[in-house]
Amino acid sequence: MPTWMKILLVAGLLLVLLLAGAAVAGYFVMRSYGPRILEATRRNMAEGAEYGRRTDNEGCLNEAVARHARVEGFTQIINNHVFLRGCLETSRPTHGFCDGVPRLTEFMKGIGWQAQQCQRYGLKAEQQCGQLFQQVQQFCDRRSLPGLPGADADRAPGAPAMPPPPPAPRETPRAP
């Protein structure tokens, strides 16, 4: 067997062992911390939903920004994102809330918009504030999709969700 084949087999075996070790470690971490993580997620989502029932979209964002300014550590940042998501889903629409918010697929535009919002609200980039505004992007992106719950929620009552489709082209009879 050539030397390059032996090296390739050893490297492949090491990769398989590394992946198996990571899977086992992941299992034990989730077994130990998983229930606490799920409970914290449920609790923060419910707290956000409750807060959202008493305010509008802008009120949710203002509360999440105030909380974000006080967070210490990655866990609190994630909890605040979950709070904002729950709040936005149940809050009253704020007219124009999603105006100017880039779609999630507009990566470069989204990064610039997130940085602008961080600066506008006086948040530090080190606190992952761009991810906070990514929650707003996700919320607005979801609302723009027709047929989903909450889509076009701040549209005036009776206004069409989307412009009507163009009329189908008429077929012209062909001469025999």
Enumerate the β-bridge partners of residue 16: none
Please tell me the pTM assigned to this model: 0.66
Going by pLDDT thresholds of 50, 70 and 90, the confidence category of residue 170 is low
Q: Which amino acid is at 89?
A: E
**What are the extents of the domains in the chain?**
42-143
C-beta separation of 95 from 56 below 8 A: no
Span 101-140, pLDDT tens digits: 999 899 999 999 999 999 999 988 777 888 899 999 999 9
Positive or negative CA dihedral for 61, 45, 156, 136?
Answer: positive
